[in-house]
Amino acid sequence: MPQDQHNISDLRISYTKAKLNIEETNPCPFKQFEKWLNEAIESKTVEATAMSLATVNEQGQPSVRTVLLKNFNTEGFVFYTNYESRKATEIDYNPSVGVCFFWKELERQVNITGITSKISKDQSEKYFKSRPIGHQISAWASTQSSKIPNREWMLAREKELNSKFSDGIVPYPEFWGGFQISPIEIEFWQGRENRFHDRIVYRLEESNWSRSRLSP
């Protein structure tokens, strides 16, 4: 091993901040998620709404990236993206996805498995118009996931679009919008000492949610 390389096999911490008893969880997984998300936000967790989204392509190869949760209710969890991006293309092929929130400040994870579908154009357009104008411009400027010659090419597109929409009115791009993940399983993970973590899983069974404890 090179002298300046860390011995990562020895890197570990013991989780001791909290515990998770099934009796103390809410029967509704969405209310339990809301509670934990609020606690993550209040604890000043960096990007508390950031979630790792896993999709699979036609060859069965997975890919993961971080996206931001922008809304949730009892129907599901919503994020936005370019509909021509790699993630959207893979969702079109296989709408089954996995999501993971990691709130290290609280030593917690939430893992969600579900089926993804596009939300309505009206919903997407309403959210698009609420975004800062710079973010609206970037949605138009980015040919997401496609090869580009260099960063200067992108900046030139941004400059061109800023000029084109100099009146501050940016139209909604039809190739951009939201997806909703309708969950079939939601697991709440609380780190515990000596790797005896608490894992409470909710599973959707004939329109009802069951709760059970999993071995760590």
Question: Is 188 domain-assigned?
Answer: yes
Q: Which residues are catalytic?
A: 195
One digit per residue, the tens of pLDDT, for the chain of length 216 reads: 566 788 898 888 889 999 999 999 999 999 999 999 999 999 999 999 999 999 999 999 999 999 999 999 999 999 999 999 999 999 999 999 999 999 999 999 999 999 999 999 999 999 999 999 999 999 999 888 889 999 999 999 999 999 999 999 999 999 999 999 999 999 999 999 999 999 999 999 999 999 999 999
In terms of DSSP bridges, do strands 198-205 and 208-214 run parallel, antiparallel, or are they unpaired?
Answer: antiparallel
68 part of a folded domain: yes
Give this prediction's pTM: 0.93
Structure tokens at 34: 């809301």
- Range list of H helices, 69-120: 86-93
What's the domain range around 204? 13-124+177-214
CA-wise closest residue to 111 among 74, 86, 77, 88:
77
Domain count, the chain: 1
Count of helices and strands (H, E) across the chain: 5, 9
Looking at the DSSP assignment, which residues form a beta bridge with residue 96?
115
- Examine residue 71 and state whether it is found in any structural domain, yes or no: yes
Determine the residue type at 118: K
Residue 128's H or E segment, with its range, is helix 121-130
